[in-house]
């Protein structure tokens, strides 16, 4: 059974947003709880959902992954992500219904493999969420010309990431900009493949700025 941690908004706050946190391969849901609480500090009206991955990582019960990394390569990466996207959609839709939050007020926040899943989810299902914050992540396959993407995308990457090169984030930014998708890219100096306090703060700030920009656009 999949472990899912749920946290309501801060006391006396109505639920205005839903944040779904997707962890890295080889971790578990608990690894994303500190980041979730840091986000709620900036967004007190957000409900937090922190699920664990769908399968075991190297047969270790406390370590999970969203899709298998065994023999993972460029030829099968997209197929493996696509195979689990229906389950991601089911998870997000269920939480949207439970918390009575619209898709445009839903944010997917993922680290490493979880970030890849978040990016590919809104590429495949444009109406699933209003924004993605992807840390140290990449697309399994860059969006093609004509791809519809409604979500705002915020990429945060370590300058010296040796697991997922910053080049992937830079390519993603160029591809998304070419599609006129609102996108930001922050390269954190002297950071490797890690989800640090600085990175979390940068991503949550970009998300906040994006929400305000969208609100201003609707007032004109």
Based on the residue annotation, tell me whether 28 is a catalytic residue of this protein: no
Based on the residue annotation, tell me whether 186 is a catalytic residue of this protein: no
Distances (CA, A) of 118 to 27, 93, 190, 215: 16, 14, 25, 23
Closest CA to 137 of 109, 157, 107, 162: 157
Spatial distance between the Cα atoms of 138 and 119, rounded to a whole number of angstroms? 8
- What is the token pair recorded at 7? 């946290």
All residues at 6 or more sequence positions from 42 whose CB lies less than 8 Å from its CB, including other chains: 204, 205, 208
Closest CA to 136 of 118, 117, 110: 110
Q: What is the DSSP letter of 27?
A: B
Which one of the listed residues 112, 154, 157, 204 is annotated catalytic? 112
Burial, 11: exposed, middle or buried (Cβ in 10 Å; 0-12, 13-18, 19+)?
Answer: exposed
Based on the residue annotation, tell me whether 193 is a catalytic residue of this protein: yes
Spatial distance between the Cα atoms of 82 and 80, rounded to a whole number of angstroms? 5
Q: What is the DSSP letter of 104?
A: G
Q: Which positions are catalytic?
A: 112, 161, 193
């Amino acid at each position: 059974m999949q472990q899912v941690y749920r946290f309501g908004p801060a006391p006396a706050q109505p639920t205005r947003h839903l944040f779904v946190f997707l962890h890295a391969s080889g971790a578990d849901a608990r690894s994303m709880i500190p980041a979730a609480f840091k986000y709620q500090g900036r967004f007190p009206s957000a409900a937090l959902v922190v699920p664990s991955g769908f399968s075991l990582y190297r047969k270790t019960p406390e370590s999970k992954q969203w899709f298998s990394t065994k023999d993972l390569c460029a030829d099968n990466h997209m197929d493996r992500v696509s195979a689990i996207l229906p389950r991601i959609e089911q998870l997000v839709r269920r939480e949207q219904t439970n918390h009575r939050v619209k898709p445009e007020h839903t944010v997917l926040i993922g680290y490493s493999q979880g970030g890849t899943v978040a990016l590919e989810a809104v590429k495949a299902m444009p109406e699933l969420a209003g924004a993605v914050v992807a840390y140290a992540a990449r697309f399994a396959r860059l969006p093609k010309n004509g791809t519809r993407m409604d979500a705002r995308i915020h990429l945060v990457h370590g300058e010296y990431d040796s697991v997922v090169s910053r080049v992937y984030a830079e390519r993603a930014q160029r591809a998304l900009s070419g599609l006129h998708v609102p996108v930001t890219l922050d390269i954190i100096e002297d950071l490797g493949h890690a989800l640090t306090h600085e990175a979390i703060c940068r991503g949550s700030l970009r998300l906040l700025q994006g929400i305000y920009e969208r609100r201003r656009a609707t007032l004109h």
